[in-house]
């Protein structure tokens, strides 16, 4: 147990080092000093109150999407459609949030439940096809994700556009503001970190308890580890696959709802900075472990918040950070690298 922790930590360090080195090249290429840039990044993420709150504010959606990705990964499924679910959830929450005259105790859960439901419904087709015919869920969810993103944009432009925006010069696709009763309020006032933090924490705890202490969680995990074994053991794998995809979509939609209700106060098209794919990265970086998930989300949140500070302090583009994140994820998931470095035992030895 102890060794696997050391392994994970070393993996992270090596990946981080390589990521830093390669993105240094890009920073040097624009004529900036990488050390100054990284210092700005680190300070921006942690050194002041705003930085810390922005980091945490970004950690929240990453945790939620990360949990969604973990649910599908543990069942051996790739849910590439989370971006679509995030947008669907955000739009659903944004529209339900405009209903006037509800007390917050009903309104907030209503919006979140509505978003979850929409996310789950959107996953029914790929989940059904997967469970019934064994169709590849990667392609379908992925394509559906594009469809949903564009559908949300279309629906808002055609039917739900905020009336005031029609008269403005640079148009944004966005709905009217939600009622105050639907808002997830900030934890400390001028900052955007809001009560959706508790939702994220609750989801992590639920994930932990579910996979550790329930029979269904065990079956769910087993199915991902060894599909044939789980059939042999009597797991209703098809039903399990169906629900795993549905729940993954539902949770991803909560991330969208949290962004709408907590941060933006309205549905704005393009609010998700590829949170879906990033959620997959977070889940992989966290190695599908609830605690690892929280840590990797915090890391991604820090990068988001720090990268912006870096942009303010230097001439480096935000995209440099995307390069760094991708390299880090590639390194973390590349087993061969660690075999080479003798951090991980050769898998072939067992053959």
Partner 1 sequence: MKKIIGVLMSILVVLSLIAGCAAPAEDPVVEAPAVEEPVAETKEPAEELPKVALMSMREMTQPADASTLEGVERLKNEMGLDVKIVVCLEVSEYYDQMQALCEEGYDVIYFVYDNFLEAAKELCVLYPETTFIGLWINLNGEEVAPNLKPVHFRSEQGSFMCGVVAALMSESKQVGFIGGGNNAGIKTMLAGYEAGIKYVDNGTELVVAWANTFDDPLKGQELASSMYERGVDVIYQAANQTGLGVFQAAQDAGKYAIGVDVDQSDLAPENIICSSLLDHGYATYDSIAAFINGNYNNSQVFYGVQEGMPVIAINEALVSADVIAEVEAVQELVAAGQIEIPTTTDTE
Is 170 a binding residue for partner 1 by CB under 8 A? The answer is yes
Is 343 a binding residue for partner 1 by CB under 8 A? The answer is yes
Is 309 a binding residue for partner 1 by CB under 8 A? The answer is yes
Q: Distance between CA atoms of 158 and 324, rounded to whole angstroms? A: 38
Is 180 a binding residue for partner 1 by CB under 8 A? The answer is no
Is 202 a binding residue for partner 1 by CB under 8 A? The answer is no
Nearer Cβ to partner 1, position 101 or 163? 163
Q: Using the rule CB under 8 A, which residue among 70, 141, 194, 305 binds partner 1?
A: 305
Nearer Cβ to partner 1, position 44 or 66? 44
16 near 24, Cβ under 8 Å?
Answer: no
DSSP state of 120: H
Using alpha carbons, select from 191, 173, 119 the residue that is nearest to residue 148.
119
268 forms beta bridges with: 174
Q: Distance between CA atoms of 326 and 129, rounded to whole angstroms? A: 31
Nearer Cβ to partner 1, position 342 or 348? 342
Is 347 a binding residue for partner 1 by CB under 8 A? The answer is no
Q: Using the rule CB under 8 A, which residue among 4, 273, 335, 346 binds partner 1?
A: 273
Backbone angles phi, psi at 189, to 5 degrees: -55, -65
Nearer Cβ to partner 1, position 39 or 221? 39
Q: Using the rule CB under 8 A, which residue among 13, 139, 147, 291 binds partner 1?
A: 13
Scanning 89-97, 166-174, 207-215, 279-287 for contacts with partner 1 by CB under 8 A, the matching segment is 166-174
Structure tokens at 178: 């939600």
Nearer Cβ to partner 1, position 49 or 132? 49
CA angle, residues 86, 11, 58, in degrees to nearest 5: 30
Scanning 146-154, 187-195, 218-226, 243-251 for contacts with partner 1 by CB under 8 A, the matching segment is 187-195
Q: Distance between CA atoms of 255 and 82, rounded to whole angstroms? A: 10
Scanning 11-19, 126-134, 144-152, 224-232 for contacts with partner 1 by CB under 8 A, the matching segment is 11-19
186 forms beta bridges with: 194
Is 1 a binding residue for partner 1 by CB under 8 A? The answer is no
Which ranges of the chain does DSSP label H, i.e. alpha helix?
A: 2-29, 34-46, 49-74, 82-96, 104-133, 137-155, 196-213, 215-225, 227-232, 237-258, 275-285, 290-313, 318-333, 335-340
Q: Using the rule CB under 8 A, which residue among 54, 59, 196, 320 binds partner 1?
A: 54
CA distances to 24, 62, 64, 208, 237 from 201, in Å? 34, 12, 9, 11, 29
72 near 242, Cβ under 8 Å?
Answer: no
Binding letters toward partner 1, positions 251-270, x by CB under 8 A = ------------x----xxx
Q: Distance between CA atoms of 101 and 188, rounded to whole angstroms? A: 26
79 near 249, Cβ under 8 Å?
Answer: yes
Scanning 20-28, 127-135, 247-255, 291-299 for contacts with partner 1 by CB under 8 A, the matching segment is 20-28
Is 341 a binding residue for partner 1 by CB under 8 A? The answer is yes
Is 64 a binding residue for partner 1 by CB under 8 A? The answer is no
Is 150 a binding residue for partner 1 by CB under 8 A? The answer is no
The binding site for partner 1 (CB under 8 A) comprises 6, 10, 13-14, 17-18, 20-21, 24, 28, 32-36, 44, 48-50, 54, 166-172, 190-192, 263, 268-273, 305, 308-309, 311-312, 317-318, 341-343
């Amino acid at each position: 147990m102890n060794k696997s922790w050391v392994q994970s930590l070393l993996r992270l360090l090596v990946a981080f080092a390589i990521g830093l080195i390669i993105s240094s090249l890009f920073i040097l290429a624009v004529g900036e000093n990488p050390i100054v840039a990284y210092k700005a990044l680190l300070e921006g993420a942690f050194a002041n109150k705003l930085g810390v709150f922005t980091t945490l504010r970004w950690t929240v959606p990453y945790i939620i999407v990360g949990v969604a990705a973990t649910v599908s990964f543990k069942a051996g499924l790739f849910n590439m459609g989370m971006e679509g679910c995030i947008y669907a959830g955000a739009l659903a929450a944004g529209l339900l949030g405009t209903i006037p005259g509800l007390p917050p105790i009903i309104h907030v859960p209503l919006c979140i439940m509505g978003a979850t439901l929409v996310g789950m419904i959107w996953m029914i087709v790929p989940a059904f096809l997967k469970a019934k015919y064994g169709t590849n869920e990667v392609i379908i969810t992925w394509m559906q994700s594009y469809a949903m993103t564009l559908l949300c944009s279309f629906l808002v432009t055609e039917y739900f556009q905020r009336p005031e925006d029609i008269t403005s010069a640079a148009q944004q696709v966005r709905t009217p503001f939600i009622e105050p009763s639907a808002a997830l309020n900030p934890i400390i006032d001028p900052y955007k970190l809001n009560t959706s933090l508790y939702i994220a924490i609750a989801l992590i705890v639920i994930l932990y308890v579910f996979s550790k202490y329930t029979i269904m969680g065990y079956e769910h995990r087993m199915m991902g580890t060894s599909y044939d074994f789980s059939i042999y053991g009597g797991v209703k794998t098809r039903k399990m696959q169906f629900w795993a995809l549905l729940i993954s979509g539902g949770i991803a939609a909560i991330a969208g709802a949290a962004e709408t209700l907590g941060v933006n106060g309205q549905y704005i098209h393009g609010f998700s900075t590829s949170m879906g794919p990033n959620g997959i990265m977070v889940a992989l970086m966290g190695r599908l472990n609830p605690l690892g998930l929280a840590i990797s989300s915090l890391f991604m949140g820090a990068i988001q918040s720090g990268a912006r500070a870096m942009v303010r302090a230097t001439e480096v583009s935000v995209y440099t950070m995307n390069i760094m994140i991708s390299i880090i994820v590639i390194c973390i998931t590349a087993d061969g690298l660690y075999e080479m470095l003798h951090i991980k035992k050769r898998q072939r030895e067992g053959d």
